[in-house]
C-alpha cells in the first residue's frame, strides 16, 4: 500500500462513501494523514454528500472530568456514533448548534481561575476549530445561538441580539420582544420566534419575525399573522418552532382536545408553514400508540430540522423520530440514547462532512 503513489490512493479512496472514509481514517496514522490531506479533501468535495446526523447537546450537569465528545445518531444505519472533542483547548465544551458541516459550541477558558466562555466553531471530523470574538458569560447562560452560515451567526435574548457577519466583532442590537423568545430559528436573512402575548393565567402564542437588515436599522419585530390562519396557535399546547427544508418552518406541539384552560392533548401535531405563500398545512401527527408514552410526562423536548424531528420526555429512555426524508412520513423509536439524566434530550441536525472548514 505504501508503494502506491498518493494520487492513486486518493482516487481509490475517493470512490468510498463518507462513512467508509471515516472508518478508514481511524485505522492508522498513515490513513488519517492520507485521508485528511488538502488534496484529498478537494477531490471528494463534490463527490461525497454530507451525512445527515442528529446530534445531542450534553446535559448541563455533566461532570467536568468526563470525556468531552459529540454523540450523534445516524438514521440511515440506525446507530449511534461518537466524535471526541479533546482537540479543543477548552474545558467542558457544550455543543449548541450546527450549520453546513460545522458545530458551534460554548467552551470555558482553559485556565480554571477564569470564568469566561467563548463561542467556538469546529469540524469534529477534521478536528479543526476557530474561536469567534469574545463574548460575556451571560450570553451563554441566557442566549440562543442561531446559525445559518459562517457569516450569519446570532445570539438572541429577550432584550438584545448579537450578530456576527464574518468580521472580527459582534454587532449588538435591541430585541424589544414582548416576551422571552421560544425556539427562535434563523431562516436565510430572517429570524422567527414564538412569543407569549397572553396573560399570567393563560398563554397566547404568536409568531414574530425580524429581518437582519431591519434589525440593523429600525430594530423592530413584526407579528406574522393572517386572518385565514384562524386559531392555528390556539390548538397547540407548548408550541415550538423547527426549521424545515428550504423556505419552510415547522411548528410542533401537543394537539389540544378542547380550548379549555387545562385541556389534555390527544397527540403531538407537526404543522408546516410555507413562508412564500404564508399557508399552513399538516406535516404529521404522532401515532396514538407512541403518544401514550408521552401522555404521562408534563413536558417534552423537540429538536431537529429539515425532514427530521426528534421528541424526548422524562422517564421514556428513548427518542421518538419523525422522518420524511424518503418522501413518506415515518415514525419510529431511537433506542440506546447515550448518557443519563432526566430523559429530556436536546440536540440539533449535523450535516457531517470532511470539506467544511471553520
- Candidates 285, 293, 322; CA nearest to 306 is 322
Residue spans of the domains in the chain: they are: 1-49, 50-352
What does the pLDDT read at residue 316?
85
pTM flag (> 0.75): yes
CB-neighbour burial class of residue 70 (10 A; exposed 0-12, middle 13-18, buried 19+): buried
Start-end of H helices in 152-240: 212-216
In CATH, the number for domain 50-352 is 2.120.10.80
pLDDT at 94: 92
| Secondary structure (3-state) at 2 | coil
Provide the grid cell at 342. Answer: 432526566
Whether the Cβ atoms of residue 148 and residue 186 lie closer than 8 Å to each other: yes
Give pLDDT, residue 65.
47
How far apart CA 246 and CA 271 sit, in angstroms, is 15
Report whether 119 contacts 138 (CB < 8 A).
no
Pairwise CA distance, residues 134 & 6, whole Å? 41
The three grid cell numbers given for residue 229, joined into one nine-digit string = 390562519
Q: Who's near 110: CB < 8 A, 6+ residues apart? A: 89, 90, 91
Per-residue pLDDT of the chain (358 residues; tens, 9 = 90+): 666 787 888 888 877 877 788 778 777 888 878 877 878 777 777 666 788 999 999 876 554 445 688 999 999 889 998 898 989 998 889 999 999 999 999 988 776 656 678 899 999 988 899 999 888 777 888 889 999 877 789 898 877 888 888 778 888 887 778 888 999 999 988 999 999 998 888 888 999 998 887 766 666 788 998 988 988 998 998 899 999 999 999 999 999 887 776 778 899 999 999 999 999 999 999 999 999 988 877 678 999 999 999 999 888 889 999 998 777 889 999 999 987 556 788 999 999 988 888 8
Degrees (nearest 5) of the Cα angle 118, 121, 125? 135
Residues in the chain, how many?
Answer: 358
Amino acid at each position: 500500500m505504501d508503494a502506491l503513489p498518493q494520487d492513486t490512493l486518493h482516487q481509490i479512496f475517493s470512490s468510498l462513501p463518507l462513512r467508509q472514509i471515516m472508518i478508514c481514517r481511524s485505522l492508522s496514522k498513515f490513513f488519517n494523514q492520507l485521508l485528511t490531506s488538502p488534496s484529498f479533501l478537494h477531490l471528494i468535495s463534490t463527490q461525497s454528500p454530507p451525512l445527515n446526523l442528529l446530534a445531542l447537546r450534553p446535559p448541563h450537569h455533566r461532570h467536568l472530568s468526563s470525556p468531552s465528545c459529540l454523540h450523534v445518531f445516524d438514521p440511515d444505519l440506525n446507530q449511534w456514533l461518537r466524535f471526541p472533542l479533546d482537540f479543543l483547548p477548552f474545558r467542558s465544551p457544550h455543543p449548541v448548534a450546527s450549520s453546513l458541516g460545522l458545530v458551534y459550541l460554548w467552551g470555558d477558558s482553559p485556565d480554571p481561575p477564569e470564568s469566561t466562555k467563548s463561542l467556538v466553531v469546529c469540524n469534529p471530523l477534521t478536528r479543526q476549530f476557530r474561536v469567534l470574538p469574545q463574548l460575556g458569560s451571560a450570553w451563554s447562560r441566557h442566549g440562543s445561538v442561531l446559525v445559518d452560515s459562517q457569516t450569519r451567526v446570532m445570539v438572541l435574548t429577550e432584550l438584545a441580539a448579537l450578530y456576527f457577519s464574518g468580521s472580527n466583532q459582534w454587532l449588538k442590537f435591541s430585541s424589544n420582544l414582548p416576551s422571552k423568545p421560544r425556539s427562535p430559528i434563523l431562516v436565510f436573512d430572517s429570524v422567527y420566534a414564538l412569543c407569549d402575548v397572553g396573560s399570567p393565567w393563560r398563554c397566547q402564542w404568536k409568531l414574530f419575525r425580524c429581518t437582519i437588515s431591519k434589525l440593523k436599522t429600525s430594530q423592530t419585530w413584526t407579528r406574522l399573522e393572517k386572518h385565514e390562519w384562524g386559531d392555528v396557535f390556539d390548538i397547540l399546547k407548548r408550541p415550538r418552532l423547527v426549521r424545515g427544508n428550504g423556505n419552510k418552518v415547522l411548528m410542533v406541539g401537543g394537539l389540544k382536545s378542547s380550548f379549555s384552560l387545562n385541556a389534555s392533548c390527544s397527540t403531538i401535531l407537526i404543522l408546516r408553514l410555507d413562508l412564500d405563500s404564508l399557508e399552513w398545512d399538516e406535516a404529521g401527527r404522532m401515532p396514538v400508540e407512541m403518544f401514550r408514552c408521552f401522555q404521562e410526562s408534563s413536558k417534552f423536548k423537540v429538536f431537529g430540522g429539515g425532514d427530521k424531528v426528534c421528541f424526548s420526555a422524562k422517564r421514556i429512555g428513548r427518542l421518538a423520530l419523525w422522518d420524511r426524508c424518503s418522501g413518506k412520513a415515518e415514525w419510529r423509536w431511537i433506542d440506546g440514547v447515550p448518557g443519563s439524566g432526566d430523559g429530556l434530550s436536546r440536540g440539533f441536525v449535523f450535516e457531517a462532512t470532511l470539506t467544511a472548514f471553520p
